[in-house]
Amino acid sequence: MAFEVYRPRSTSENIVAITKHHIRLGTKIADQLKGDQVEVAYDKDTNKLRIRSVDESGMKVTKNKIGSRGVLKYFDLNLAKGNFAAEYNSEESAVYVDLNKRK
């Protein structure tokens, strides 16, 4: 028998995973956002999501997850689930997710 060893992903990677139910932030990215409420915005021209910390009236982040059903439906995004490259912008306290770059 040939066994393959499971190795969990490194938390040092800047990855955001998107499924039909959740946007899951990598630990490193989630730690950089302040608080537990965010707003999610979409730029159609660059095909990027922006996830930014807000003080109130935002979407709740629970265990590094944000509900994605409403977001994907609102922006009419038909994404196959997967991991996407993300980067944190400290000036804006926001995470930018490039939906063109799968990891």
* pTM of the complete model: 0.83
Using DSSP's 3-state secondary structure scheme, residue 9 falls into coil
**Are 80 and 68 within 8 A, CB to CB?**
no
Side-chain half-sphere CA neighbours of 41 within 13 A: 11
**How confident is the model over 15-19, as a mean pLDDT?**
90
| Lowest-confidence segment of 4-18, 50-64, 74-88 by average pLDDT | 4-18
Q: Reading across the β-sheet that carries 59-60, which strands appear in turn?
A: 59-60, 37-43, 48-53, 94-102, 82-89, 15-18, 22-25, 65-67
More reliable by pLDDT, 78 or 7: 78
- Percent of the chain having pLDDT more than 70? 94
Q: What is the pLDDT of residue 4?
A: 87
